[in-house]
Structure 1
Amino acid sequence: MGAVLCSEPETDVLYLNDDTLWSGYPHAETSPVTPEIVAKARQAASGDDYTAATRIIKEATLQEKDEQIYEPFGTARIQCSTPADGRESMKRQLDLARALAGETFQMGDANVHVDAWCSEPDDLLVYRMSSDAPIDVNISVAGTFLKQSRASLETVSDGHRATLIVMGRMPGLNVGLLPHPSENPWEDEQDGTGMAYAGAFSLTATGGDTNVDDNSLQCSNITGLSLRFRSMSGFKGSDRQPERSMTVIADHLEKTIDEWSTDLQTMLDRHIADYRRYFDRVAIHLGSAHDDDTELPFSAILRSDEKKEPHRLEMLAEAMFDFGRYLLISSSRPHTQPANLQGIWNHKDFPNWYSAYTTNINVEMNYWMTGPCALKELIEPLVSMNEELLAPGHDAADRILGCRGSAVFHNVDLWRRALPANGDPMWSFWPFGQAWMCRNLFDEYLFNQDASYLSRIWPIMRDNARFCMDFLSETEHGLAPSPATSPENCFLVNGEPVSVAQSSENATAIVRNLLDDLIQASHDLENLDEEDSALVREAESVRSQLAETRLGADGRILEWNDEFIESDPQHRHLSHLYELHPGAGITSKTPRLEEAARKSLEVRGDDGSGWSIVWRMIMWARLRDAEHAKRIIGMFLRPVDANAETNLLGGGVYDSGLCAHPPFQIDGNLGFPAALSEMLVQKATMAGFAFFRPCRRIGMREVSMRSAQEAESKWMRHGRIRQWNIRCAVRSPRRLR
């Protein structure tokens, strides 16, 4: 559960989210793509007829359906009024150290204070207001999919308690298509098909009078109020039909309201303690703020002409590091859903790209920080989602590609759809989503060295290795997945863009890293059965035959199997540089490949969408080029207007600090802490050593490294190291640089 708190001239607006509120339900679905179609495309691509290969796949993927849509719960509008309306002296803040939003303002003679938080231990959103003079408050609740409500009012010891329960139903199946947006993309028969949900609002007011009706709570002449909110959906599991009765959900939710009577201060203390056990594990301090900056709003610094001054850039970078950690701590916990494209802060009925789990970079970027920021518990929802994806992944691998194992295409939803999405093969025909997520899962193991965790993710890695090995074909350069695309990019044939090649560096790199990780994992696991041991031997044999990373005549890394003309040389995706990050194949021990990666990044350019800029930042950090990475920080921290149109370039951040693609996506925010961590400590997994690089006047506490190590640093002026403390949870030889 989460919310965005926005302020209007006389109103606070809470955009409410529940991460299980999606359209649709589990249902059987058949893909138009078949092993026979894939074989024809493979044959065409191996004969250099890439136009035909693209056409063959495209004719099938244009018949695909799209995934389901993540939906908001609704909105709660909290309107304050006094005889002298209008807010003055408004100050708003988000305390990242305590996960507490707050605001103060004046309305006539009233000085009003508000704080709000979303408590994981109590599963409640709390909005608390106090005033030193009587005010009137009206709270109205609305939502596109809300259908019914019921209300009650009672007298309690310190005033009145009003309860409002609203009920709704998610729409049924989304049968619309992203390239052709519709205001009504739902299946024809909607009555009772979608998942039921409900929300309960409990309002306690001090003084004055309180009334309640079907959709609102009204208070007059009060000096304080507390509003508590909890949502509940009919979600029972990704493979189970949801509860469709609104009354059943509402009745169950209503029975919990008496449990919410905990003293607010106790509840707040519990919330802060829970949050800080994650947040306090890591700290980075980038220099000292000037006195004249300490009271400036984030947006003022973001938009200032002096933003490029080192101390101001450092302030912003430090704030974004903490903000990114706050967002993941708030949105990804054991037993929640993973963070999607907009996280739990979506306010649109039709969010961009359906706010799905996009697996060709975005969901992986969301979780890059869990290792370096010591947040191992927060990757649990990603692990759970991948466990749930195995059954649909097996079906997709078998029916679409004729392979063993598990294959997941580029968009996943709550119901764990693993099939291709509708549209061009450049995005729809890419079955390596779960194989890429395996890199996240195993990389987390390299940080935590938890044997039980490794045993848990082993079946996911194993089944994806089976698929990847089955999907390989002989090429003149070795084994490679075929046919293949490079996510969302094209090359030109006779001046026309095509996307299906014989092989791509991205697909082959994913297979290389997956097999390397599988082999390494097998060494740390005890008592592998004969079937798994045979698979490891197969992986060792196949790994030695895989095509290696190739360079073009200009020294850049080839994105596809041949040196094609790129349709967009400055494309936002960096898929062909997978071996640099998140892979482990390009390090200081491969200087030729490092230089090729550098040239590739230079041609690709620094600009892009918000998340793409963060991707570039972490790539330059992997190349140990701190100055270039710092320049990209400055590019990411450029202000984007709230009404900016969707764009593939010109990304940055909104005044709120949220990442602007534009539009809003959470991945840039969540990727930033990982990128900044990479600038400070880089533990090269395969090379066996760690790099420590100074950025100007850095202090750092307990940034985690792979092999269960933690690092603490103190720096002198001008970036000279004064002290490093390194703690290792396991005994292993390491070299430091």
Structure 2
Amino acid sequence: MKNKKLENSVFGLFLFLANMICVEAYAQAKIGSEDLKFWYTQPAKEWSEALPIGNGRLGAMVYGGIQMEHLQLNEETLWTGGPHSYDNPDAYNHLEEVRNLLKQEKYNEAEDTAEKMMGIPKYQMAYQPFGDLFLMFPQGAKSSNYRRELDLQKALSTVSYNIGETKFTRKVFASYPDQAIVMRLESDKSKQLTFDLILTSPHTSKSEVVNETTLVMSGQLGKQKERSLIGAWEGEGLKFASQVKVIAEGGEVIAQGDKISVRNANAVTLIYVAATSFVNANDVSADPLKRINDYLAATTGKSFEQLYQRHIDDYTKLFNRVSINLGSTDENNNIPTNERLNRVKEGASDPLLTEQVFQYGRYLMIAGSRPGTQPLNLQGIWNGTINPPWCSKYTININIQMNYWVAEVGNLSECHEPFLRMVHELQEPGSNTAKTHYKADGWVTHHNTDLWRGTAPVDGAHWGMWPTGGAWLCQHLWEHYLYTGDVDFLKKSYPVMKAASEFFLDVLVENNDGKLITSPSISPEHSHGGTNKDGMSSNRSGAAVIDGPTMDGQILRDLFANCIKASEILGVDKTFRKQIAETRNRLAPMKIGRHGQLQEWQEDWDNPENSHAHVSHLYGLFPSSQINRNDTPELFEAAHTSLIQRGQNDGWSGAWRIALWARVGDGDIAYTALNSHVLHGFTTNMFSDRTVFQIDANFGATAGIAEMLLQSHNNEIHVLPALPKAWPNGYVKGLRARGGFEVDIEWKDGKLVQATIHADNDGTFKIASQGKSGGKMSIKKGQSKVWKGV
């Protein structure tokens, strides 16, 4: 009898292990399948159809033409302007007047006066396109069997087509280990590759051939007048240079002035490198020509296969950490991506496209943000115009934060580094702005910054008079610690967080109730109702400058709480900790208004008919968790009401709503926000472009999908907190949870099958699924635990 029981136990264990092996094999097969390719049957006719590649520093948009291949090129540090401070020495002289006008409810006068506090120049600098690489092929017979694709699994752009009986193939990738963009041209018959190659730039530059097989372009940005939100600049600008090496197999390479011609080759490898004179925000003394020579020299002796393998090894160790299936089948694999997107816009369901959108955000993160690079701006690293939307800056009243919401939960913590480093870099200029504009200690930055790390208010008081940008940035320092448990990182970051708090200890003022508020400030990009007869908000008409907007108090509650916890963990600053705690307790509370909504301002001005894009006062719901169902049920319902009243939207604001609806726990409305709104703003190349290209919705969509499947705030791991009916079966592997955990989730028929928690740190947390608590779970570093749900 005992032997029979033993046999059954062994057999059961065998079945369990076999099942797990099959699940793992299926997951790995899914990762490497055709499912992770965007593909098209025509070349790109315009920028919004071209496909992006990048290595964090270099970006390219690949058009995939037949008679002419076009790569539009970027290098992350080519910006207008140069080292300078935006601080306005006269700003402080107007601070008290603005505050007094706000107390007197003279909001228009306060905003007009606050214009005198703007930075000098009033507008910041702009990210610039670097140049273009063109390959011109001889005109010939019509092509057939055309296909261009972007393989998210390999970070590889491929173009293939036939002319007559000859098949031509081009492969392009951007290598992080070799700091180069590499193109391989091949044909299946010998001596078929003939083309001319040129490099151009929209800026003053020259191109010339060196060493017979290398084309070099160099130039320099210069003075500029104020234009389209871009500040004037009277000094010299950044120097820049690029070069492309032509390595032909067979045939001949001919140098012809400012172009290189290849004739009758069997295969050709092109290696493109680029650099500027930028060292840091205060130093532009680098020699870009030396830099590009060093980059190119480092590739010498490496074959295309070796360069490609180095790229694959580097990229896949990041990308392959997470796999996802939302119930997709192979039925859509044979339909071009643009057609599938159009079907979704017409109301069709396409789980495969949603999986691709999720992984596209992770792809773009790896392609656009690597350790040592600049952080992702409004367009990532992909910008094709000298007058980019909103100057392609770092907009820090929501947009850059949204870019990086995916970094930790998407298991790409390394890619968070450029953003976290920028927060540190802003402390020094922000300290000068605090002293100059407010006569305060600590540091501050407002709603925008740029390559030169500007921290003064810019663009106009209606947009820029917002002092809590730096405080929100500090939240990402804390989040990185929460996800990793890296105490050394916390030691380095705590002084930055502390100094941000010190600024507000100096500048907070009392309201009529004796509570502490910011003044002056705004609720980002939203006009309040103080200048209207009905006292209700009015989108962007009317005054925005105000004292004590709800969002500011929410951000400061987080900043102060994080400083308190960090000082306890590090065992420092007991006196300061007490001061911060007392100040936090005096912050003006959040309020519920006449429409049952969470008030955006101290006054009850919210208009239930005003579906404004920004939902700034819902910061407390997401990305913060200070408003939640368990601890603040009344505020939670008020935030829910505000979310309903603000309606749906596309673009970045729609992506924010995905995560907000996930926090409310309504997966079906979160799904609607994604499929019926955000994806409707996507263009052919799957970039988000509601009116103009802005990349934050791509990242926000990925983060929103993750939030629907896993939440980990307030010391709880909640799996499938907002699973929509449209995804009844599926799995996700490799998402990260706060506390230092990796989580795999599998579900069937809309119910959790199991969740597996892998621990990088010791931890005890509450666990829940689909709103049902499973009690506490404890786990040791290196352990994995399987939870079947309740």
TM-score (norm 1): 0.90
Q: Deviations over 1:658-680 (max 9, x none)?
A: 11132111111122221111000
Q: Which residue number in structure 1 is paired with residue 697 of structure 2?
A: 668
Partner of 2:410, secondary structure, is coil
Q: 1:358 aligns with which of 395, 403, 417?
A: 395
Q: 2:674 aligns with which of 618, 623, 633?
A: 633
Q: Which residue number in structure 2 is paired with residue 327 of structure 1?
A: 364
Distance in 1 separating the partners of 2:227 and 2:605: 31
Q: 1:503 aligns with which of 548, 553, 567?
A: 548
Q: Aligned partner of 1:679: which letter?
A: M
Partner of 2:63, secondary structure, is strand
Residue 690, structure 1, aligned to residue 718, structure 2: yes
Q: Which residue number in structure 2 is paired with residue 140 of structure 1?
A: 198
Q: Deviations over 1:611-631 (max 9, x none)?
A: 111011111111111010000
1:552 is displaced (CA, Å) by 0.6
Q: 1:515 aligns with which of 543, 556, 560?
A: 560
1:683 is displaced (CA, Å) by 1.2
Distance in 1 separating the partners of 2:437 and 2:344: 54
Q: Which residue number in structure 2 is paired with residue 701 of structure 1?
A: 733
Residue 341, structure 1, aligned to residue 378, structure 2: yes
Distance in 2 separating the partners of 1:342 and 1:235: 20
Q: Which residue number in structure 2 is paired with residue 679 of structure 1?
A: 708
Kept after mapping to 2: 8 A contact 1:338/1:381? yes
Partner of 1:81, secondary structure, is coil
Q: Which residue number in structure 1 is paired with residue 129 of structure 2?
A: 72
Q: Aligned partner of 2:360: which letter?
A: F
Comparing 628-637 and 612-621, the one that deviates more = 628-637
Q: Aligned partner of 2:741: which letter?
A: Q
Q: Deviations over 1:680-712 (max 9, x none)?
A: 011123x64535333421201121111112211
Q: 2:683 aligns with which of 654, 659, 668?
A: 654
Q: 1:452 to 1:596 in 2, by over 3 A?
A: same
Distance in 1 separating the partners of 2:145 and 2:89: 60
Q: 2:216 aligns with which of 156, 165, 173?
A: 165
Comparing 47-56 and 464-473, the one that deviates more = 47-56
1:468 is displaced (CA, Å) by 2.1
Residue 575, structure 1, aligned to residue 616, structure 2: yes
Distance in 2 separating the partners of 1:341 and 1:266: 34
1:176 is displaced (CA, Å) by 1.2
Residue 484, structure 1, aligned to residue 515, structure 2: no
Kept after mapping to 1: 8 A contact 2:119/2:456? no
Distance in 2 separating the partners of 1:323 and 1:233: 28
1:483 is displaced (CA, Å) by 2.0
Distance in 1 separating the partners of 2:258 and 2:578: 64
Distance in 2 separating the partners of 1:722 and 1:307: 33
Partner of 2:764, secondary structure, is coil
Q: Deviations over 1:528-553 (max 9, x none)?
A: 2xxx3332221111111111111111
Residue 458, structure 1, aligned to residue 494, structure 2: yes
Aligned residue runs from structure 1 range 381-392, under 5 A = 381-392=418-429
Kept after mapping to 2: 8 A contact 1:175/1:186? yes
Q: Deviations over 1:529-585 (max 9, x none)?
A: xxx333222111111111111111111111111012659821111111110111121
Unpaired stretches in structure 2, ≥5 consecutive residues: 1-57, 534-540, 769-790
Distance in 1 separating the partners of 2:161 and 2:398: 42
1:186 is displaced (CA, Å) by 5.0
Q: Which residue number in structure 1 is paired with residue 447 of structure 2?
A: 410
Q: Which residue number in structure 2 is paired with residue 56 of structure 1?
A: 113
1:442 is displaced (CA, Å) by 0.9
Partner of 1:491, secondary structure, is coil
Distance in 1 separating the partners of 2:364 and 2:124: 25
Q: Which residue number in structure 1 is paired with residue 156 of structure 2?
A: 100
Aligned residue runs from structure 1 range 100-499, under 5 A = 100-133=156-189, 134-153=192-211, 162-172=213-223, 175-178=225-228, 186-187=232-233, 193-243=236-286, 248-261=287-300, 262-291=302-331, 293-304=332-343, 308-310=347-349, 312=350, 314-423=351-460, 425-477=461-513, 478-492=515-529, 493-494=531-532, 497-499=542-544
Q: 1:38 aligns with which of 95, 98, 101?
A: 95
Q: 1:692 to 1:378 in 2, by over 3 A?
A: same
1:275 is displaced (CA, Å) by 0.6
Q: Deviations over 1:183-240 (max 9, x none)?
A: xx7545x6xx111111110011222222123432211222321110111211111122
Q: 1:225 to 1:139 in 2, by over 3 A?
A: same
Kept after mapping to 1: 8 A contact 2:741/2:757? yes
Q: 1:165 to 1:678 in 2, by over 3 A?
A: same
Q: 1:175 to 1:631 in 2, by over 3 A?
A: same
Q: Aligned partner of 1:706: which letter?
A: R
Q: Aligned partner of 2:688: which letter?
A: C
Kept after mapping to 2: 8 A contact 1:177/1:422? no
Q: Which residue number in structure 1 is paired with residue 147 of structure 2?
A: 91
Runs of 4+ in 1 over 6 A off after TM superposition: none
Kept after mapping to 2: 8 A contact 1:281/1:702? yes
Distance in 2 separating the partners of 1:89 and 1:73: 33
Distance in 2 separating the partners of 1:33 and 1:369: 40
Unpaired stretches in structure 1, ≥5 consecutive residues: 155-161, 640-651
Partner of 2:409, secondary structure, is coil
Distance in 2 separating the partners of 1:273 and 1:368: 25
1:146 is displaced (CA, Å) by 4.4
Q: 1:403 to 1:73 in 2, by over 3 A?
A: same
Q: 1:178 to 1:510 in 2, by over 3 A?
A: farther
Kept after mapping to 1: 8 A contact 2:86/2:119? no
Distance in 1 separating the partners of 2:345 and 2:124: 45
Q: Which residue number in structure 2 is paired with residue 562 of structure 1?
A: 603
TM-score (norm 2): 0.84
Question: Identity, % of aligned pairs?
Answer: 29
Distance in 2 separating the partners of 1:534 and 1:141: 61
